[in-house]
Structure 1
Amino acid sequence: MSQIGKPPCEEGVILGGAQALPCSAPSRHWTLVAAILGSSLAFIDGTVVNVALPAIQRELGASTSDAQWVMESYALFLASLLLVGGTLGDRFGRKRIFMLGAGLFMLASIGCSLSSGVLQLIAARAFQGIGAALLVPGSLALISATFPQSERGAAIGTWSAFSGITAAIGPVIGGFLVEHYSWTWAFLINAPVGVVLLAICAAKVPESKGRMEGPVDVLGASLVTIGLAGLVFAFIEAPARGWTAAPIWLAAVIGILALLLFVRVEAHAASPMLPLALFRERNFAGANLLTLLLYAALGGSLFFLPLNLIQVQGYGATAAGAALLPFIAIMFLLSRWTGSLVDRFGSRLPLVIGPTIAAAGFAMFALPATESSYWTAFFPAICILGLGMSVTVAPLTTTVMNLAGRDLAGTASGINNAVSRAAALLAIALFGFVLTLVFNIVLDSELRSLRAPTGLVAAVVGQRQKLAGIVMPAGYPDATLAALKHAVNLSFLSGFRCVMLVSAALALLSAASAWIFIEGRQAAHGVPVSGRNG
């Protein structure tokens, strides 16, 4: 659920992609089917896993940091290798790399379902992320390489519609499987889809390659992976080990140095995965700063929403999976209208108003107490957040595409897409640190006021890394256990509220970045239209 819906600029990757190769109409249709199935694998996985996390935490005895790693190990490799995955397809064959990604993703999904311990699951999720980094850009590149420019609009519409359906039903199906069968089925459902996808690709999808010049940026990909991994490790593990622990500060230092070296390498590489020259354009830099801030707020906060709904509010996994359906429905229904906002008002106005509305939605998530009604507490916040993101996403995609021009549209869209994923990756780690810090402070205060038996308090404190997933020991009066559980829920809710307020602040900062950096209107190839500020 931290990756709800489609990230920005995915349609831009298709529109700005390679020239189409001559192929028959049936081949184009089967290619579109393959692209939809491939995207569906990633979309389903990105939303289902969050719903399954409470069950995984309970059955595997995992801490909240372990649950974060289940999500982050996947997101780390997807975010850092996404741009390289597209490059490998251009060089070695888009269908070949797409099938390699699909096969690896499918096998890793089976590995996830067979995991008997949390470390096995985290490792399998890492391989899933590598597979997704080959699969996701490949699904988009196949459309751009197979459909001529005149037919891409219809192909994009079909792909987007099915992607929206997938995003809507994926968490519900996953929640049903978790609630009525086992969390392992949330991963195992990828296997039959993967088998069908590989069969279609092998029999029906034509191969294509791009015009690659220069080497694949292996050094850049390695540095950004090490850099992001170092920072994520520091923020996830710091609450348990402390910032003064050698592994924590060493990981943070290595992460920062690796990212600084990454920037230096990209500035001098012959074929960089991240062309820094694009960021010299003020509007492009502003659009990506907005993306970084807003998608950090979205991805980081929505990671913890299912934990709140299931572990604190008492929802079932199916209900938690369906909780964000209004968000997806609003974005789907308003996508055509919001896509025309840049033409009518320019870029700046919708990119200021949209994140501002989203900020109000995040702030509303901080209002519900424990055992709150969905319709009065969460539904309004979800609708407001959906409206804000709807006003933002389509104009953001259009803005990035217009700024770069046709020749670099695919590259610029891919960068913006990767920025959104990296933002969520870092935010989940950072927000987890914030939530854990507040949780521990409030829990200590609540335990002192309750004056519960020493053994019971020790049992609760010993599980504090599980946050709201703490299991109450048996052998104590029901009233005492209920009071302890209420204290745990209040502590988690206090941390959750802080996370949502931080998200609201980040959304407001993203609106401010749009106001400061982005021109009101741009011409088609990145030249600002003088005298007009939307």
Structure 2
Amino acid sequence: MSEPSVLTTATGVPIRGHRPVRPGLIIAVFCLGLFMTLLDITIVNIAIPDIVTELRASLDTVLWIGSAYSLVYAVLLITAGRVGDILGPRTMFLAGIALFTVASFASGLSSDSAQLIAFRALQGLGAALLAPQGLPIITSTLPAARRGPAFAATGIMSGLGVLLGPTLGGFIVTHFGWRWIFFINIPVGAATLVLAFAFMPDIRPGLRHRLDIAGVGLLTLALLGMVFGLIEGQRYGWGTISGPISIPLVIAVGAVFLGLFVWRQIRRQKLEPLLPFSIFRDRTFTIMTLVLLAMGFAMVGVFLPMTIFYQSVLGLSAVAAGVVIGTQSLAMMITSGIVGGAGGSGRLNLKWVLFTGLVLFALGVSYVLLVAAPDVSRWAFVPGLVVSGLGLGCVWTPLFGLATRDLDPARSGVAAGVLDTLQEFGSVLATAVLGAVLAGRLSVDWHNRAVIAAAALPEPSRSQFLTGIGQAAGGGLQVGAGQAAQLTLPSDVAAATADQIRTVAAETFGAGFTDAMRPTMLIPVAVILAAAGAVLFVRDRSTTVGKSPGD
């Protein structure tokens, strides 16, 4: 009696059960889940003012609504990817979607900030479980020649998340309230869960392995310390948190645990490591991890100052700012589709497409910096945004195509975790470093301009104006009305004089922020160009889509 045949994917990866493989449907289901998590990152920021008001929470407390999500997400990506190699990406994807949907429902029902922060952390856990599963799903079900459209689809979903987050978030908060930014995930999550059960096969790219529990603990503590320190550093002035505990100490402890993790992994390479070093033997994969780290840094380094500029300097609403940013997202979606579609023809050299995309991104951002001024029209940025968007559309498909070109499907989960972790770490690093640089330069530039502007004020008001500027400049970067709205004046200042002082403060803030933004954003531009230089070291062997290493 013959044994029943075992189903396999197009790349020879075994499938548990008898569910047929429909790559188009599988990628669509994954993109739907990915879109939900990406949208949630951008949409929540719009609701912070309303959350502060309704829950009567301090701004510092409410900022943890975003930080809790980011912290849990960044810390667990590698572990979730490795577990996906062991249990199968379908299992982890279903668990992630289910947890994210339930946590979204609970977030919408939160009655205080502590509950909301806790449920946001659970959302981050759900996102971390599902995010690394896309790469093993794509590499297991599609041969290299057909992966371009799949990677393009994930790029388009990223563009839609960025495009719809501010605009959809502003609409929902205005018309339905902040709780509905979480409730909107429930039907999307439920539909994704049903479709995943129906169409996503149980692919097992790796053999049944044991999880390195000690390695998980060391890596979790390492990333927890380093990411927490970077997220919270500016809030504590990079100094003391409480008693002997300080931000530098937390980061240093995280670095020590990272060293212990690496030491343990070195000793376990012939056993069952959490992080197999074999994935780094491929020079192209290693270079792509560095490029993704640079992209995580650059994306935040560009969008953080520009978001503040649109709303705090130009005075745009969140929806109006989202429409302007949307030109970049639309351009990225168009080129992502073209690059992904052309990838199937086997005629694109991914190395040079990626290099061109990075250079175009840098040029577009440079144009934005060139035309930035406190009184500029919002549409003046569109040419630079379109060029940078066209560049971004040429980045994601080649980047992941090169990273997975020679990747062993059995290691694709942990490889995806490494890629996602480095991208998220780059984002956190940019928020910490560039946020501090921008705030520091703003404090100096705003004060210098305020000294000059004070000459136009009545003599008795000048010292009060400069004192208020100094206090507001130390209040941290604020999106919306900006620091100028924090300017406090004595109660005995005449109303007409107070209005004049606030007008001058807003004008000096706009000019000072623009002056501070330019050198700050040159840092991510330099990082992008450095990443483009690194791409030149990618081997040309097998860089054309549709060619196998043996061709």
Change (3 A) 1:426 1:479: same
Q: Could you tell me how far apart the structure 1 residues matched to 2:466 and 2:166 are?
A: 36
The answer as to 2:185 corresponding to 1:190 is yes
CA contact (8 A) 1:175 1:319 kept: no
Distance in 2 between the 1:417 and 1:432 partners?
22
Contact 1:54 1:310 (8 Å CA) reproduced: no
Which residue of 213, 218, 222 corresponds with 1:227?
A: 222
Is 1:464 aligned to 2:474, yes or no? yes
For the 8 Å contact 2:314–2:374, the answer to whether it is kept is yes
Q: Which residue is equivalent to 1:518?
A: 538
CA shift, 1:364, in A, is: 2.7
State the partner residue of 2:392. 389
Q: Closer, same or farther in 2 for the Cα pair 1:185/1:17, shift >3 Å?
A: farther
Shift of residue 46 of structure 1?
2.8
Residue 277 of structure 1 corresponds to: 278
Q: Match of 1:324, SS?
A: helix
2: distance between equivalents of 1:161 and 1:414?
A: 17
Correspondences of 1:447-462 after superposition (within 5 Å): 447-449=450-452, 450=454, 452=462, 454=464, 457-458=467-468, 461=471
What residue is the counterpart of 1:370 in the other structure? Answer: 374
1:506 Cα shift?
Answer: 0.6
CA distance in 2, matches of 1:61, 1:454: 30
**Which of 135, 157, 160 matches 1:163?**
157
* Maintained 8 Å contact 1:178/1:317: no
Residue 502 of structure 1 and its aligned partner are, at CA, apart by 0.8
1:507: Cα distance to partner? 0.7
* Change over 3 Å in CA distance of 1:79–1:511 after alignment to 2: same
Q: Given the alignment of the two structures, is residue 264 of structure 1 paired with residue 238 of structure 2, yes or no? A: no
Alpha-carbon shift at residue 402 of structure 1 (Å): 2.0
Tell me how far 1:508 sits from its aligned partner.
1.2
- Measured after TM superposition, the shift of residue 408 of structure 1 is 4.9
Residue 354 of structure 1 aligns with which residue?
Answer: 357
Q: Distance in 1 between matches of 2:211 and 2:11?
A: 20
Distance 1:308 1:366 in 2: 11
Residue 82 of structure 1 is matched in structure 2 by 77
**Could you tell me which residue of structure 2 aligns to residue 505 of structure 1?**
526
Q: Does 1:399 align with 2:402?
A: yes
Contact persistence 2:365–2:384 (CA under 8 A): yes
**Greater displacement, 147-156 / 467-476:** 147-156
Deviation at 1:455? 8.4
Deviation at 1:504, TM superposition (A): 0.5
**What does 1:33-72 correspond to in 2, within 5 Å?**
34-53=29-48, 63=59, 69-72=64-67
Q: Deviations over 1:37-87 (max 9, x none)?
A: 322211211332344456657876755x76764434323322332232233
Unaligned runs of at least 5 residues, structure 2: 1-8, 455-460
In 2: Cα distance, 1:207 partner to 1:281 partner: 28
TM superposition shift of 1:139: 5.8
Cα distance in structure 2, aligned partners of 1:115 and 1:486? 39
8 Å Cα contact 1:357-1:388 kept in structure 2: yes
2:167 and 2:439 map into 1 onto residues whose CA distance is 28
For 1:305 and 1:199, how far apart are their aligned partners in 2? 39
Structure 1 Cα separation of the partners of residues 414 and 67 of structure 2: 25
- State the AA in 2 paired with 1:421: E
Output the amino acid matched with 1:248. Answer: I
Amino acid paired to 1:280: R
Q: Which secondary structure state, in structure 1, belongs to the residue aligned with residue 395 of structure 2?
A: helix
Task: Verify the 8 A CA contact 2:155 2:393 in the aligned structure 1.
Answer: no
Partner residue in 2 for 1:251 = 250
Aligned residues of 1:56 and 1:62 also touching (Cα < 8 A): no
Q: How far does residue 130 in structure 1 lie from its aligned partner after superposition?
A: 0.7
**8 Å contact kept, 1:300–1:427:** yes
The alignment's TM-score, normalised by the length of structure 2, stands at 0.78
Deviation, structure 1 residue 503: 0.8
Distance 1:394 1:84, change over 3 A: same
One-letter code aligned to 2:436: F
8 A Cα contact 1:62 1:466, kept in partner: no
Taking a change above 3 Å as real, the CA distance of residues 99 and 244 of structure 1, as seen in their structure-2 partners, is closer
Partner of 2:383: 380
Are 2:147 and 1:137 equivalent residues in the alignment? no
* Further displaced range: 90-99 or 317-326: 90-99
1:438 aligns with 2:441: yes
Q: Distance in 1 between matches of 2:52 and 2:282?
A: 45
- Partner deviation per Cα, 1:187-232 (whole Å, 9 max, x = no partner): 3311232234345556776656554443224444443443333334
User: Which protein is bigger by CA-based radius of gyration?
Assistant: 2
Q: Say yes or no: does 1:420 pair with 2:413.
A: no
Q: 8 Å contact 1:98–1:135 — kept in the other structure?
A: yes
Corresponding position: 1:479 with 2:478: no
Aligned equivalents of 2:172 and 2:470: distance in 1? 30
Consecutive unaligned residues in structure 1, runs of 5 or more: 1-13, 530-534
What secondary structure does 2:289 align onto?
helix
Shift of 1:250: 0.5
1:22 to partner: Cα distance: 5.5
Q: How does 1:201-350 map to 2 (within 5 A)?
A: 209=204, 211-245=206-240, 246-269=245-268, 270-339=271-340, 344=347, 346-350=349-353
- Decide which structure has greater helix share: 1
Give the Å deviation of 1:132. Answer: 0.5
Distance 1:210 1:343, change over 3 A: closer
2:509 maps to 1:488 = yes
* SS of residue matched to 1:366: helix
Q: Which of 340-349 and 104-113 deviates more?
A: 340-349
Q: Secondary structure of the residue that 1:518 maps to in structure 2?
A: coil
Query: What is the RMSD of the two structures over their aligned residues, measured on CA atoms?
Result: 4.0
Contact 1:82 / 1:137 at 8 angstroms: preserved in 2? yes
Confirm or deny: 8 A CA contact 1:240 1:465 kept in the other structure.
no
TM-score normalized by the length of structure 1: 0.80
Residue by residue over 1:9-49, the C-alpha shift from the partner in whole angstroms, topping out at 9 and shown as x without a partner, is: xxxxx997944456456998876664343222112113323
**Residue 274 of structure 1: SS of its match in structure 2?**
coil
Q: Does 1:107 find its partner at 2:102? A: yes
Mapped partners of 1:346, 1:150: distance in 2: 13
Q: Distance in 2 between matches of 1:499 and 1:357?
A: 19
**Count, aligned residues:** 511
Tell me how far 1:414 sits from its aligned partner. Answer: 4.8
The answer to whether the 8 Å contact 2:107/2:119 transfers is yes
AA in 1 matched with 2:407: A
Counterparts of 1:299 and 1:526, CA distance in 2: 35
Q: Is the 8 A contact 1:82 1:418 kept in 2?
A: yes
